[in-house]
């Protein structure tokens, strides 16, 4: 049975490649010669082919296109200029062939990949460490990539997601033995006869780096901006609709983690009502998260580029400002955000992501972008998901419902930790013992016994917003700030450093 091939190449090369691929005994057959990327995607969605060969210089070829082809069950070969091979490798195709190799070498590479492409009726189990959007399978490996998630990131298979996340982290951290943390060590070289071609991270000096079968090329490179040490951790701050204080908590948590661990990346991934710039008094004439995502889509994102695009507040909080308009949500595809999360882990010990409130409904077989795909991507990538609700009757009901929704959606990665925070707790809304009332309600209706309570301190919060500064700077002795400090200590594993004064817990030192 021949494997169908979709071609979208430059005219003078395409005819020769067609002749070679359609020759008897090749095992492949060209089923469509496409004029542009939309035609390739349409043919892939229609199930006309199992392989796609694209000219990397064709308009629209980026990481999201490769991810959409993979979602349709199509493996991808990109043909790139010699100086663009590393960048194209970062887009996550199954193979990259230099244009200078000629039609015969390209045809050999396509037929070699076709031999490892399963027939449609084969039931293939995803390999450990399988690739997510934009992950690349190594040429020469007998284990094909399969079971990939949709571009929304919402249909992530739990075991496969854990393997993919571990593979990306291993690639960011680098191999044992002291290699630079921003890139993986080279593991092989490309050969048309099926020798192991590995897909990995591009080194800042231009050297090709590599991983193994289905290892994600996360985009981090060794060089300026890449920190030493293990990959950082990502915290997603999520909660129900109704303004429970997600952004305020995310900003204050970022400030507290920065005081404990050094540089922090604060990401505004709320595509409905982004507000980090307003809280911190930053001009929002441009969107850093959109700019960073574009770099990731084009295979050009590294740690130094990410930090350069983000304004800095408090000296060590790099703010990835949000979208300037809600209708720009399509600029944050999960295939790009997965790279952003991994590069952020390489650049800072902590990344805090402020997300939107809405989760997309699960529609099996859906093809194309989803309105709340950025939120789903952040939740799927997070090491810790902080679920925040308001400490009042309506807010508590919404929080209980949100906890059930989060569990039903199954978007968190295996092994991710969930922490519940009840914000703006006050006696006027929750009774004479507001903290006790909140704990009793969550234990009874949501089975949550370890929620953290943040007292309401509206004057201090208003003062912080008016000054465009963090609560940590403006009111270090605020009970709300002390509660978020405790949350940061729980996350970082530090024991609370507190002194007792007149029965009130106070920080041991003011930062």
Domain at 1-119: CATH code: 3.40.50.2300
For residue 27, what pLDDT is reported?
87
- pLDDT for the residue 367: 66
Helices (H) and strands (E) in the chain, counts: 18, 15
Q: How far apart are CA 457 and CA 382, in angstroms?
A: 29
- List beta partners, residue 169: none
Name the CA radius of gyration of the chain, rounded: 24
The 10 Å Cβ neighbour count of residue 291 is: 19
Tell me which residue of 232, 93, 78 sits closest to 168, measured CA to CA.
232
User: What are the residue ranges in the chain where pLDDT is below 70?
Assistant: 117-226, 228, 362-367, 495-511
Strands in 42-192 per DSSP E:
51-55, 75-80, 95-98
- Domain limits, the chain: 1-119, 233-507
What is the DSSP code (8-state) at residue 405?
H
According to the model, what pLDDT value does residue 192 have? 32
pLDDT for 67 equals: 93
Half-sphere exposure of 6 (CA within 13 A, CB side): 27
How far apart are the C-alpha atoms of 121 and 139, rounded to whole Å? 22
SS3 label, residue 466: helix
| CB-based contacts of 473-481 (< 8 A; 24+ apart in sequence) | 473/255, 473/314, 476/507, 476/510, 476/511, 477/506, 477/507, 477/510, 479/455, 480/252, 480/454, 480/455, 480/456, 481/252, 481/256, 481/457
pTM of the model as a whole? 0.74
Residue 439 burial (CB count, 10 A): 17
Question: Tens digit of pLDDT for each residue in 436-487?
Answer: 999 999 999 999 999 999 999 999 999 999 999 999 999 999 999 999 999 9
116-171, pLDDT tens digit by residue? 866 544 433 333 333 333 333 333 333 333 333 333 333 333 334 444 444 444 44
| Residues 40, 42, 46, 52, Cα dihedral to 10° | 10
pLDDT for position 204: 31
For 239, list phi and psi in degrees, rounded to 5: -175, 175
Pick from 241, 280, 298: nearest CA to 61: 298
Whole-number pLDDT of residue 360: 85
Q: Of 94, 91, 86, nearest to 114 (Cα)?
A: 94
137: nearest Cα among 107, 117, 152, 165:
117
Instruction: Identify the burial level of 228 via C-beta atoms within 10 angstroms of its C-beta, where 0-12 means exposed, 13-18 middle and 19 or more buried.
Output: exposed
Evaluate whether 486 touches 452 at the Cβ level (below 8 Å): yes
Nearest to 30 by CA among 40, 19, 41: 19
User: Would you say how long the chain is, in residues?
Assistant: 511
User: How far is it, in rounded angstroms, from Cα 422 to Cα 358?
Assistant: 18
| CA-wise closest residue to 486 among 463, 462, 505 | 505
CATH topology for 233-507 is Rossmann fold (3.40.50)
Q: What's the pLDDT score for residue 199?
A: 34
CATH fold match for the domains 1-119 and 233-507: yes
């Amino acid at each position: 049975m021949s494997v169908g091939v979709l071609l979208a190449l430059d005219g003078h090369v395409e005819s020769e490649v067609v002749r070679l691929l359609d020759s008897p005994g090749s095992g492949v057959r060209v089923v469509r010669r496409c004029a542009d990327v939309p035609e390739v995607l349409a043919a892939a969605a229609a199930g006309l082919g199992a392989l796609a060969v694209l000219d990397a210089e064709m308009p629209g070829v980026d990481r999201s296109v490769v991810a959409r082809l993979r979602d349709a069950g199509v493996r991808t070969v990109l043909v790139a200029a010699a100086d663009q091979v590393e960048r194209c490798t970062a887009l996550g195709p199954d193979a990259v062939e230099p244009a200078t190799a000629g039609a015969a070498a390209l045809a050999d590479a396509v037929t070699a990949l076709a031999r490892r492409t399963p027939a449609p009726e084969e039931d293939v189990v995803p390999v450990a460490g399988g690739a997510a959007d934009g992950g690349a399978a190594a040429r020469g490996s007998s284990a094909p990539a399969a079971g990939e998630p949709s571009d929304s990131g919402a249909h992530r298979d739990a075991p496969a997601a854990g393997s993919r996340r571990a593979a990306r982290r291993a690639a960011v951290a680098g191999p044992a033995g002291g290699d630079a943390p921003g890139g993986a060590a080279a593991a092989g070289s490309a050969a048309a006869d099926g020798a192991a071609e590995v897909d990995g991270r591009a080194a800042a000096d231009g050297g090709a780096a590599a991983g193994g079968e289905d290892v994600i090329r996360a985009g981090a490179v060794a060089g300026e901006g890449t920190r030493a040490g293990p990959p950082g951790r990502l915290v997603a701050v999520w909660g129900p609709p109704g303004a429970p204080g997600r952004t305020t908590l995310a900003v204050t948590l970022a400030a507290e983690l920065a005081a404990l661990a050094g540089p922090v990346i604060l990401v505004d991934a709320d595509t409905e009502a982004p507000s980090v710039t307003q809280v911190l008094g930053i001009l929002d004439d441009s969107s850093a998260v959109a700019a960073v995502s574009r770099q990731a889509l084009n295979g050009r994102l590294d740690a130094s580029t990410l930090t350069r695009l983000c304004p800095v507040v408090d000296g060590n909080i790099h703010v990835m400002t949000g979208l300037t308009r809600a209708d720009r949500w399509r600029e944050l595809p999960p295939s790009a955000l997965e790279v952003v999360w991994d590069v952020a882990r390489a650049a800072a010990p902590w990344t805090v992501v402020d997300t939107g409130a809405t989760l997309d409904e699960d529609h099996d077989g859906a093809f194309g972008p989803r309105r709340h795909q950025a939120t789903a991507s952040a939740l799927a990538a997070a090491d810790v998901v902080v679920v925040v609700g308001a400490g009042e009757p309506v807010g508590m009901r919404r929080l209980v419902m949100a906890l059930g929704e989060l569990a039903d959606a199954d978007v968190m990665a295996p092994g991710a930790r969930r922490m519940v925070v009840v914000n703006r707790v006050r006696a006027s809304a929750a009774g004479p013992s507001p903290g006790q009332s909140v704990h009793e309600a969550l234990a009874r209706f949501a089975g949550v016994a370890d929620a953290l309570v943040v007292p309401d301190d509206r004057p201090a919060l208003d003062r912080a917003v008016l000054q465009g500064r963090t609560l940590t700077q403006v009111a270090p002795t605020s009970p709300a700030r002390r509660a978020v400090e405790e949350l940061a200590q729980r996350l970082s594993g530090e024991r609370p450093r507190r002194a007792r004064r007149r029965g009130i817990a106070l920080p041991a030192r003011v930062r």
